Every structure is written in structure tokens, then in C-alpha cells.
């Protein structure tokens, strides 16, 4: 997913814009379209609303941005049903419920009548802080909290104004409650009765928001709006898109990244019943492939299986995991650019010494819903249905492929079955591929929508992995565990070099995503050297980004120092935090208190493990119980202390922490690795690539530190500290520190 951005490293003008809450880029001016009717307060077709609009009476509208206009986000039906449009992709993180909760709170809506839907690539649905369509970096609630509160408050103010005008009373005599405006003398009007008139009212620029003590929706554990549909199998995802006359395409891809076609024999494929076309198409990274377009997925895959292809991979690098590790170790011994540069002279005289090397493999995103995109082309228009983390970027990429203007492309954001960062690549590879196929199909005379589907094998072998990393550390410390010098090296591919984020993330040759989570919050004298080799393996952010490996290194090494100096790991960390990191202290103390750490007698063969880590402005601490049985590590119980400031929906926080922890647990289990031999990915499905199963799931309890401060991210922070907490427990049992993921005990 999208990494944390260090604003101090951005251009000063951009820093000032972000500090003032302005978008990164100026949004276009658009007209305020007012198409209200008896069915609703908002436009049913996602309106374009912006500065310079006029009201029905010809009065100038407020200078509100598209992201601030209620008409783009709120639709109130005649029966009082409120539909909230979300400006993010829902792919399991709960924004389909949490964002409506925020808006409904200030709207004073009847929560039982609240519904939710996705937006498009319309300008209204950009991230209000970054100015681009974005779901990533655990920014959804954090960046849209104030936005959705104000949207709800503006809509409520318009409803009150409409009621005051109808009753001809002072608006100050009115109040709202659960979807109803209440007036003097027992008067009452439902929101549905006022929607049309409210739509004609001017949109207020300034609104008064509730005091958090008056919240009745925000902060309450709330079932998800999509829970029933998902649990009953009725929820449609992008892969379920069905349009009249729709065809399905699958692609034969080279087994080595970047390879091109040397020869194609498609005669047998064309003879398969239901196959409509066999098309040679360009793929991401300069590669080529063959798309088989057919009536359905089965026919398309049968046609693909019948292809006889020869590939030319002579001009591309063939990465081999074993050779890659040798190369990384050699790079770790070389000088390189430095993130931190503390004096390392104390290493030579430190009373205690520790040296360690860590290895982390490539990891696949392995979302339950494989990649897909449906494209419908008409004269001068294109419409896409896709689970997109960045609808605007994808629309622009589609426009370039199809020789259209961006405003001629509509991206209908679809519910997605997971993603973990894979549905947002800076090259928009999934969308570009689907558009290339749709364009070629149209040129071949197929005037029908085309749905491009990836199989599980396509998805797992298709690249864009969490990069492989090697860490090497030399640490000098004293008998009290005071670190005197910490010399550290990281070797791994950059995920932002060459992307739209390079100018923000890469400084002095160092990708900030590779080093996030290093050193802080601990006051350590560290020299950090970073090498970013370039290899022919596509890489991308993966849930919790750099913290997937840095947290494990930091938290296991600190635990090792605590053990070496015979200190309790909790007490040791608390001492290092001092009084400068209260959120870390509170999260860790909460986990300790609720777990019974140090007070509860553990069963024979079990040990405690502790870790705490901050990512995306939230802190998660774990206290775990683990054992080793028949040479295999087992996780039995996890207690989480979470500090994410205000928890909009505690159930979402609990689910996200648990889900992220399961992903973190998967990293520890044998077989959780993507490896390459002579350029070919060796894993293709879940029989060869391990993810945690229900039988691996421990007892899990999540506890949230109370706060009324604006919320921080929660989709990713639960992942990083799980593996080190588990590893620290195993190290206490075996006496041997773990130096790689997945765990290797022998």
C-alpha cells in the first residue's frame, strides 16, 4: 500500500499547501449541476460540483471545492433512505461503513436507513489532502474524517433551512434527530420530505461540528453495511461484472518478466468453440502476450491452453533467488548512501557486541479476488468497471491507450476482494492491459464489452511483489542495554523509483519506504546505509510497506539486547521510550495489562513474546503466547493494544488489526515466499505459497486506547509487530534468535 510521506522532505510550497489542508494539485472548476427530484437530495449520476456555481436564484455559490459539496456525496430518497458515496475503494478495510458513519453522525441520520456506494473518477472523489484519487497508506479515515463530518453538517444545515422556510419559523427553533427535523409545537418532517427543497438551498461554507461527547454513531461498535451481502454470497465484486453481450479475455503471459513473442501458432485456439478472437497485445514492462477473447472464462482458458507459443527472453535478466542473495550479501559490504550517519567509533570499544543478518523474501499480495477489469468502448467514450485504488490515475492511463481525453473515460469503482496494494500500480498495468485488449478486440470487429480476468496462477506469477530484502546489523551496547553504536545496512529494490511518488520518496538515492520503521521511536545512535539494486522483478508496496521487514529487525534485535542483559523486554522498551512517546507506552501497557503478562502462569512449553511498532501514525503493541511443537512454531494467544486516536468504528479497528495480524502470521509460516529460478517464479497457487489458515489462528483480543483526537490509520498498522512478537516468544523457548522470514528453526 501507499507509504507514509515525510512532509519535511517535500518542496516547501507543497508543505505549506498540505499544512493548510489544500490539495496537492488545483482541482478544475466545474459547474454546479442541480438535478434534484422527488427521489433525492443529490445527483444520481455523481455530479460535477465546484467553485463558481450559482444557486437556483442566481446567487453566487460558495467557493467550495468538489470534495466539499454535499450533492456529490449524499442522496436522500423520499422514504428517508440516505445513500452515502464513498471516495475510496472498499476492499475489506471497512470504509464502506466507517465513512457513512462519519457523515451520518453530523447529518443526524437514522442509521438504520443509511446505505453506501462507490464513487467514480469524478473530481469530487479525490483525497481531499493529496488531490488525487487514492485508497492507500491507511489514509482513508484519517484524511476524510473532517471532510465527511463537514459534508454531513452542510447537508443537515440545508435540511434545516428548507424546514424553516416551509414552516416560516426561525431556524434557531429547529433541531434534528434520527433523520427528522423537529420544530415548535410538535412539528416534524422527515428528511425525505425535505430533500428536494433542501437541494435548492445555498451550500453553507462554514458549519459547526458536534462536540465528540455528543457523538451517537461515531465510536459505537457498528456492524458493517456490507456484512450481510458478503456473508450470504450476494455481494458483487469487480470480477462479477456482467454487461449485455460481454466477452471475456484471458492472457498468455511470458514466464520470464519482459519476454517477447518469437512465434505464435493460434490455429488450435481459434478452433475452440466460443473463442471469438486471438490477439497479440503489449504487456507491462515491455513484454508481449496473447489475449484469447471468448464467450466466457472457460472457453477463453481452453483457447489459451491450445496456443503454441515461443518466447524470446534473451534480452531480459533472469533473476535467480539463490544468486540474488549472494549478490545482496556482496552489496551489503560496500559503501552506499546513508539515511542516518551517527558516529560508529564506540563499536570498537563497546562491552557487548551483536552481529546479525536478516533475509526477507519476495511476497505476493495473494488477494482472494484475482485482478480483473471490464472495458466498454463506444464512439468517443470508454467506461471501465474495476476495483481501483486510484481511479483518476487509471482513467488517465486508459485515456492514453485509447486515444481519448481523460474526461471521456469513466471509471466505476467496484467492490474488491482484497488487494493489499496490488490494485494501485503507477503504471496502471491491469487497466492498461484490459484497454489494450478491448481496443484490439474492437479493431477485430468485436463491438462488445470485454472483461479481462487473471487466473490465480496469473495473479501469483504476475509480479509486483513486496521486494526481497537483506538487513545486516552490528551493534555495540553496555551491560545495561544502552546502545552505544548501531551500524545497519539494508539491501532491496526501490518500489517508488520510476513511479509517480519518486520525487517525494527518493532522497539521496534512498527510497523512504525501505527505511520507514527504522530507529524511531528508540533513541539509538544509528548509521543506516541503503542499497537499491535494479532487477527484472516488478515490485510494489505490500500491506504496511517497509514496516513489513523493518519492524521485525528492530523489535527482535531490541529483544535480543534485553535478553543478553537479563532485562524484562517490556521494562526495557518502556525505559527507551522515556516520556517522549506516550502513545507507544499506552499501547504497550494496555496489551500487557489485558494479557496478564508477567502475572499469569503460562502452560509448560509456552513463552511470552512482545513487540510494539508505529506505522501510518498508529501504534500497535502485541503480547503473544507461543510454543514449538514437533519443530513447528505455534501461536496460541494474541493480545493487542492499539492507539489509533479516535476509533470511528471499534468493530472495524478490531477486524483490521486481526486481519493484518493474520497476514503477519502468514509471513512466519513455512512456504510463505516467492522465489525465482532462472527468471521463472516457482509458486503459482496456494499449494505452493502459504497463507495462514483457520487452524493457524490464535485466540485474539484487541483493546483500543481511548482517545478523542482525530483518527489515524488502521488498515496496515496491525501487521508489522506480529511477526517479531511471535519470533521473540520462539527465541525465548529455543534460545536462538530468528533471522529470517518465514521462520526457520533448524
Peptide bond into 742 cis (omega under 30): yes
Task: Please give the helix or strand (H or E) that residue 676 lies within, else none.
Answer: strand 676-677
Q: At what angle do helices 95-107 and 140-167 cross, to 10 degrees?
A: 30
CB 528 within 8 A of CB 515: yes
Do 639 and 718 belong together in one domain? yes
When pLDDT is averaged across residues 378-391 and rounded to a whole number, the result is: 97
307, three cell numbers: 496456443
Q: How many CA atoms lie within 13 A of 130 on its CB side?
A: 25
Q: 463: pLDDT confidence band, cut at 50, 70 and 90?
A: very high
Residue 327 lies in a domain: no
Question: If you average pLDDT over every residue of the chain, what do you get?
Answer: 92
Asked which of 405, 434, 453 is the last residue of a domain, the reply is: 453
- Residue pair 53/34 in contact by the 8 Å Cβ criterion: no
Mean pLDDT along residues 266-271:
98
Cα separation, 608 vs 624, in Å, equals 6
Q: Which three cell numbers stand for residue 300?
A: 477463453
Q: Is residue 739 part of a domain?
A: no
**Domain-embedded: residue 208:** yes
Rounded CA separation 508/488 (Å): 17
Mean pLDDT of 235-244: 98
For residue 4, pLDDT beyond 80: no
Same domain, 567 and 607: yes
Radius of gyration from C-alpha coordinates of the chain: 27
Give 434-457 pLDDT, tens digit per residue. 999 999 999 999 999 999 999 999
DSSP 528: E
Whether 517 and 428 map to the same domain: the answer is: no
The enclosing H or E element of 412 equals strand 409-413
Residue 290 shares a structural domain with residue 348: no
How crowded is residue 12: how many other Cβ atoms within 10 Å of its Cβ?
8
Q: Which whole number is the average pLDDT over 514-533? A: 97
Q: At 358, list the grid cell.
A: 536478516
Question: Are 115 and 257 members of one domain?
Answer: no
CA–CA separation, 588 and 719 (whole Å): 15
Lowest average pLDDT, out of 40-49, 613-622, 669-678, goes to 40-49
Instruction: Please check whether residue 725 lies inside any domain of the structure.
Output: yes
> In this structure, are 552 and 470 located in the same domain?
yes
For the stretch 113-157, pLDDT in tens is: 999 999 999 999 999 999 999 999 999 999 999 999 999 999 999
Q: Does the pLDDT at position 649 exceed 80?
A: yes
172 and 281, same domain (yes or no): no
CA distance 423 to 634: 32
d(CA 237, CA 391): 16
DSSP 37: B
Dist CA 287 CA 112 (whole Å): 51
Average pLDDT score over residue span 528-532: 98
Of 13-27, 206-220, 528-542, least confident by mean pLDDT is: 13-27
Q: Answer whether 140's CB lies under 8 Å from 102's CB.
A: no
Average pLDDT over residues 168-179: 98
> Which of 385, 2, 65 is closest to 395 using CA atoms?
385
- Are 184 and 204 found together in one domain? yes
- Indicate the burial class of 396 (C-beta count within 10 angstroms; 0-12, 13-18, 19 or more): middle
521: preceding bond cis by omega (within 30 degrees):
yes
- Out of 425, 453, 481, a domain closes at 453
Gap between the Cα atoms of 347 and 362, Å rounded: 32
Same domain, 387 and 358: no
Q: What is the pLDDT of residues 6-57, one digit of tens each?
A: 444 333 333 443 444 444 433 332 332 222 332 334 422 233 333 333 333 3
CA–CA dist 320, 716 (Å, integer)? 30
- Sheet architecture: strand order including 338-341: 338-341, 526-531, 483-492, 469-477, 352-360
Query: Across 317-379, where does the E strand assignment appear?
Result: 338-341, 352-360, 372-378
Q: CA dihedral in degrees (230, 235, 240, 242; nearest 10)?
A: 170
- 465 forms beta bridges with 539
Residue 479 has pLDDT above 70, yes or no: yes
Give the whole-number percent of the chain exceeding pLDDT 90.
Answer: 90
* Residue 373 CA: distances (Å) to CA of 186, 434, 449: 53, 6, 11
**Helix, strand, coil content of the chain in percent (nearest 5):** 35, 25, 45
101-107-111 Cα angle (round to 5): 45
Residue count (the chain) = 746
- Grid coordinates standing for 54? 450559482
pLDDT band at 62 (very low <50, low <70, confident <90, very high): low
Phi, psi for 329 (deg, rounded to 5): -65, -35
Please give the average per-residue pLDDT across 723-741, as a whole number. 97
What proportion of the chain, given as a percentage, has pLDDT over 70?
A: 92
Q: What is the CATH number of the domain that holds 154?
A: 3.30.365.10
The residue behind cell 465528540 is 212
Number of structural domains found in the chain: 3
Residues 68 and 217 in one domain: yes
Instruction: Quote the CA–CA distance of 280 and 253 in Å, as a whole number.
Output: 11
| CB-CB contact of 465 with 505 (8 Å) | no
325 in any annotated domain: no
Which cell numbers in the block locate residue 621? 503493541
The pLDDT, as a whole number, for residue 137 is 95
How many Å separate Cα 62 from the centre of its chain?
34
Residue 2 lies in a domain: no
Segment 493-514 mean pLDDT: 94
Using pLDDT thresholds of 50, 70 and 90, give the confidence band for residue 63.
Answer: confident
Which of 561, 728, 569 lies closest to 638 in space, CA to CA?
A: 728
Q: Which residues make beta-bridge pairs with 474? A: 355, 487
In a domain, 380, yes or no: yes
Residues 444 and 354 in one domain: no
With 70 as the cut, is the pLDDT of residue 647 above it? yes
Residue 501 scores a pLDDT above 50: yes
Contacts of 684 (CB under 8 A, 6+ apart): 456, 457, 460, 461
The last residue of a domain, from among 229, 257, 287: 229
On whether the CB atoms of residues 578 and 571 are closer than 8 A, the answer is no
Among 32-36, 518-522, 554-558, 604-608, where is mean pLDDT lowest?
32-36
Beta bridge partners of 84: 74, 116
CB distance 622 to 664 below 8 Å: no
Question: If you write DSSP's letter for every residue of 7-75 in order, what string do you get?
Answer: GGGS-HHHHHHHHTT--SSPPPP-------BTTBSS-TT-----TT-B-TTSPBPP---GGG-GGGTEE
Task: State yes or no: pLDDT of 278 exceeds 60.
Answer: yes
**What does the pLDDT look like over 290-306, one tens digit per residue?**
999 999 999 999 999 99
Q: Based on the domain organization, do 531 and 626 belong to the same domain?
A: yes
How many C-beta atoms surround the C-beta of residue 637 within 10 A?
A: 17
- Mean pLDDT calculated for residue range 503-522: 96
Is residue 742 assigned to a domain? no
Range of the domain at 669: 333-363+464-734
Sorting pLDDT into bands at 50, 70 and 90, what band is 500?
confident
Higher pLDDT among residues 22 and 88, named by residue? 88
Predicted pLDDT at 677: 98
- CA dist 598 and 369 (Å) reads 42
Whether the model clears a pTM of 0.85, i.e. scores above it, the answer is: yes
Amino acid at each position: 500500500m501507499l507509504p507514509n510521506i515525510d512532509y519535511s522532505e517535500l518542496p516547501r510550497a507543497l508543505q505549506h499547501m498540505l499544512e493548510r489542508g489544500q490539495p496537492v494539485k488545483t482541482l478544475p472548476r466545474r459547474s454546479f449541476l442541480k438535478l434534484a427530484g422527488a427521489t433525492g437530495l443529490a445527483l444520481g449520476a455523481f455530479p460535477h460540483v465546484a467553485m463558481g456555481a450559482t444557486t437556483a436564484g442566481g446567487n453566487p455559490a460558495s467557493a467550495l471545492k468538489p470534495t466539499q459539496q454535499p450533492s456529490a456525496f449524499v442522496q436522500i430518497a423520499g422514504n428517508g433512505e440516505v445513500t452515502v458515496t464513498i471516495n475510496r475503494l472498499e476492499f475489506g478495510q471497512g470504509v464502506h461503513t466507517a465513512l457513512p458513519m462519519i457523515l451520518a453522525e453530523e447529518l443526524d441520520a437514522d442509521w438504520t436507513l443509511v446505505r453506501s456506494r462507490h464513487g467514480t473518477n469524478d473530481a469530487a472523489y479525490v483525497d481531499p489532502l493529496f488531490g488525487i484519487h487514492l485508497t492507500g497508506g491507511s489514509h482513508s479515515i484519517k484524511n476524510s474524517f473532517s471532510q465527511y463530518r463537514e459534508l454531513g453538517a452542510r447537508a443537515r444545515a440545508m435540511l434545516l433551512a428548507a424546514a424553516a422556510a416551509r414552516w416560516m419559523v426561525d431556524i434557531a427553533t429547529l433541531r434534528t434527530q434520527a433523520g427528522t427535523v423537529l420544530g415548535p409545537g410538535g412539528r416534524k418532517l422527515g428528511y425525505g420530505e425535505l430533500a428536494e427543497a433542501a437541494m435548492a438551498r445555498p451550500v453553507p461554507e462554514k458549519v459547526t461540528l458536534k462536540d465528540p461527547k455528543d457523538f451517537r454513531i461515531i465510536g459505537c461498535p457498528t456492524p458493517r453495511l456490507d456484512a450481510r451481502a458478503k456473508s450470504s454470497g450476494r455481494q458483487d465484486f469487480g470480477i462479477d461484472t456482467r454487461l449485455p453481450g460481454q466477452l471475456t479475455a484471458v492472457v498468455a503471459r511470458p514466464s520470464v518478466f519482459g519476454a517477447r513473442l518469437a512465434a505464435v501458432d493460434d490455429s488450435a485456439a481459434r478452433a475452440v468453440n466460443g473463442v471469438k478472437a486471438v490477439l497479440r497485445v503489449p504487456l507491462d514492462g515491455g513484454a508481449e502476450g496473447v489475449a484469447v477473447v471468448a464467450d466466457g472464462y472457460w472457453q477463453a482458458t481452453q483457447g489459451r491452453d491450445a496456443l503454441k507459443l515461443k518466447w524470446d527472453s534473451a534480452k531480459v535478466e533472469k533473476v535467480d533467488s539463490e544468486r540474488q542473495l549472494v549478490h545482496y550479501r556482496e552489496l551489503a559490504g560496500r559503501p552506499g548512501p546513508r539515511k542516518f550517519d551517527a558516529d560508529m567509533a564506540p563499536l570498537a570499544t563497546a562491552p557487548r557486541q551483536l552481529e546479525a543478518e536478516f533475509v526477507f523474501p519476495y511476497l505476493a499480495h495473494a488477494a482472494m479476488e484475482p485482478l480483473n477489469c471490464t472495458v466498454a468502448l463506444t464512439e468517443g467514450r470508454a467506461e471501465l468497471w474495476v476495483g481501483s485504488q486510484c481511479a483518476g490515475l487509471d482513467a488517465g492511463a486508459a485515456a492514453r491507450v485509447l486515444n481519448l481525453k481523460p474526461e471521456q473515460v469513466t471509471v466505476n469503482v467496484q467492490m474488491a476482494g482484497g488487494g493489499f496494494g496490488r490494485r494501485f500500480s503507477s503504471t496502471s498495468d491491469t487497466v492498461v492491459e484490459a484497454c489494450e485488449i478491448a481496443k484490439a478486440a474492437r479493431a477485430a470487429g468485436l463491438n462488445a464489452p470485454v472483461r479481462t480476468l487473471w487466473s490465480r496462477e496469473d495473479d501469483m506469477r504476475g509480479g509486483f511483489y513486496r521486494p526481497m530484502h537483506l538487513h545486516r546489523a552490528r551493534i555495540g551496547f553496555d551491560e545495561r542495554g544502552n546502545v552505544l553504536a548501531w551500524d545497519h545496512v539494508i539491501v532491496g529494490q526501490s518500489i517508488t523509483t520510476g513511479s509517480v511518488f519518486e520525487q517525494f520518496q527518493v532522497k539521496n538515492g534512498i527510497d523512504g519506504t525501505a527505511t520507514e520503521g527504522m530507529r524511531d521511536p528508540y533513541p539509538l545512535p544509528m548509521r543506516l546505509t541503503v542499497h537499491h539494486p535494479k532487477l527484472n522483478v516488478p515490485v510494489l508496496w505490500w500491506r504496511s510497506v517497509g514496516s513489513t521487514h523493518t519492524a521485525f529487525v528492530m523489535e527482535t534485535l531490541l529483544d535480543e539486547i534485553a535478553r543478553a542483559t537479563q532485562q524484562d523486554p517490556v521494562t526495557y522498551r518502556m525505559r527507551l521510550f522515556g516520556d517522549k512517546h506516550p502513545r507507544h507506552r499506552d499501547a504497550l501497557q494496555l496489551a500487557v495489562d489485558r494479557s496478564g503478562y508477567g502475572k499469569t502462569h503460562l502452560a509448560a512449553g509456552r513463552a511470552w513474546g512482545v513487540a510494539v511498532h508505529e506505522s501510518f501514525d498508529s501504534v500497535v503493541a502485541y503480547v503473544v503466547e507461543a510454543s514449538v511443537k514437533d519443530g513447528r512454531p505455534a501461536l496460541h494467544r494474541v493480545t493487542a493494544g492499539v492507539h489509533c486516536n479516535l476509533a470511528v468504528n471499534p468493530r472495524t479497528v478490531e477486524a483490521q488489526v486481526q486481519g493484518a495480524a493474520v497476514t503477519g502470521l502468514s509471513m512466519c509460516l513455512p512456504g510463505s515466499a516467492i522465489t525465482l529460478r532462472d527468471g521463472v517464479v516457482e509458486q503459482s497457487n496456494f499449494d505452493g505459497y502459504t497463507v495462514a489458515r483457520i487452524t493457524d489462528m490464535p485466540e485474539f483480543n484487541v483493546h483500543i486506547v481511548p482517545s478523542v483526537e482525530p483518527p489515524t490509520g488502521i488498515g496496515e498498522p496491525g501487521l508489522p509487530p506480529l511477526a517479531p512478537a511471535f519470533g521473540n516468544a520462539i527465541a525465548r523457548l529455543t534460545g536462538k534468535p530468528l533471522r529470517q522470514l518465514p521462520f526457520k528453526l533448524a
